[in-house]
Structure 1
Amino acid sequence: MTGYYDIVLGLIPLAMAGITGVLSISGFALTTAIPMASVVAVGLIGHAMFVRAPVDPTPEVPGHDDSVQSDTIQTAD
């Protein structure tokens, strides 16, 4: 199963090669096309690191039920 981070890892070299190729074919110098493509690759990396940051799953505590609030006041009838 491919996850978000697998797709990002695949898009980084694809963006570098694809955008550099398209820009160099369209008339940009190679020394201009590579930095422009790297901006997209850095944007992908930044999105993966800061916008959709990998987080550790919270461990489930056995015997703990989140639906029951333990701080409620119970009155005796």
Structure 2
Amino acid sequence: MAGYYDIVLGLIPVALLGITAALTVVGIPLTTAVPVSALVAIGVIGHAMFVNAPIDSSEETPATHPTINSD
């Protein structure tokens, strides 16, 4: 099953190539379509890096860290 970051890696070229092609077919010049699709790709990358950032699974959370009793 594809994870979130696999989907992100697949969406980057789809955004660059697919949106550029779609905008070109609609009649928008290539010099405008490429930057627009690049902005979408940058948005996907930014979301993966900052909004849904990967976490380090080796970090211990308070729920998994054993506490020391002072009794």
State the TM-score bracket (shorter-chain normalisation). 0.7 to 0.9
Structure 1 residues 2-41: aligned runs within 5 Å: 2-41=2-41
Residue in 2 aligned with 1:51?
A: 51
Q: Higher helix proportion, which one? A: 2
* TM-score calculated relative to the size of structure 1: 0.76
- After superposing on structure 2, the runs of 4+ consecutive aligned residues of structure 1 that deviate more than 2 Å are 58-61
Contiguous gaps of at least 5 residues in structure 2: none
Give identity over the alignment, percent: 55
Contiguous gaps of at least 5 residues in structure 1: none
* TM-score calculated relative to the size of structure 2: 0.82
Quick one: which amino acid aligns to residue 44 of structure 1?
Answer: V
Quick one: which amino acid aligns to residue 9 of structure 1?
Answer: L
* Higher Cα Rg, which structure: 1
